[in-house]
């Protein structure tokens, strides 16, 4: 399964266009534009599984900086500031990684 099996390719493209400039990425806005905020919890968990590059069950900071590239190969890398802000917002237990429930957090914002 790929992200385009769950999300519209045109919505993904629009979300990526919206955050092309460094330090312009907003997880909440990205989730809204890409259509992720409208998906069910089970669909969010499947998206999370696809984004979890090493299949550890968590998205760690090193994986998170490549978040946009998981949607499109040529997308930019998140800046250090964007990565830390994203991690802080979704890491509910402060362990330095995001579980599927952390990604689901943005769906409800």
Instruction: Show binding-site residues for Ca(2+).
Output: 52, 54, 56, 58, 63, 91, 93, 95, 97
Binding residues: 52, 54, 56, 58, 63, 91, 93, 95, 97
Q: Are 61 and 97 in contact (CB under 8 A)?
A: yes
Element at 16 (helix H, strand E)? helix 9-18
Whole-angstrom distance, CA of residue 63 vs CA of residue 82: 13
The whole-angstrom separation of Cα 37 and Cα 90 is: 14
Query: Residue 50 in contact with residue 70, Cβ under 8 Å?
Result: yes
């Amino acid at each position: 399964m790929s992200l385009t099996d769950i999300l519209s390719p045109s919505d993904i493209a629009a979300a990526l266009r919206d955050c092309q400039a460094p330090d312009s990425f907003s997880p909440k806005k990205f989730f809204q534009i890409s259509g992720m905020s409208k998906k069910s919890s089970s669909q969010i968990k499947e998206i999370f599984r696809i984004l979890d590059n090493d299949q550890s069950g968590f998205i760690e900071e090193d994986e998170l900086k490549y978040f946009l590239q998981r949607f499109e190969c040529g997308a930019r890398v998140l800046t250090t500031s964007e990565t830390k802000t994203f991690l802080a917002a979704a890491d509910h237990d402060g362990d330095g990684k995001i579980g599927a429930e952390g990604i689901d957090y943005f769906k409800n914002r």
